[in-house]
Amino acid sequence: MSAKTDTPLLTAAWNAVSTAHNATNLAYSCFADLATLFHAIADASDEHSQAAKLAKIGLYLAEDWANLHDCERETLEERFTVLRAALGLSPINGEGDAK
């Protein structure tokens, strides 16, 4: 942020959105990894075993939560765009500010 936009309120808003975005990225990544683990367990288990059935339930839940966090990540990226515009900053162009 530049000196002209560096006010306590704007800094707090920027930090809040940034922290939420980072937490959402981490949650998405963890649930995606968990889905991969459940998929591997299901593949390694006998098709009709309790382990396979439980792994498929875990896979479904992990994919569902990963999708939820992916959608939230997109919403936060939109908020970053709005906040950057309000601050008079250039759009995110792969510099890594919000990704």
User: pLDDT digit string (tens) for 14-52?
Assistant: 888 889 999 999 999 999 999 999 999 999 999 999 999
- Over 80: is that where the pLDDT of 59 sits? yes
Q: Are the C-beta atoms of residues 92 and 85 closer than 8 Å to each other? A: no
Min mean pLDDT across 18-22, 67-71, 79-83 is at: 79-83
Predicted TM-score of the model (pTM): 0.75
Average pLDDT over the chain, rounded to an integer: 86
Beta-carbon contacts of 92 under 8 Å, excluding residues fewer than 6 positions away, are: 77, 80, 81, 84, 98, 99
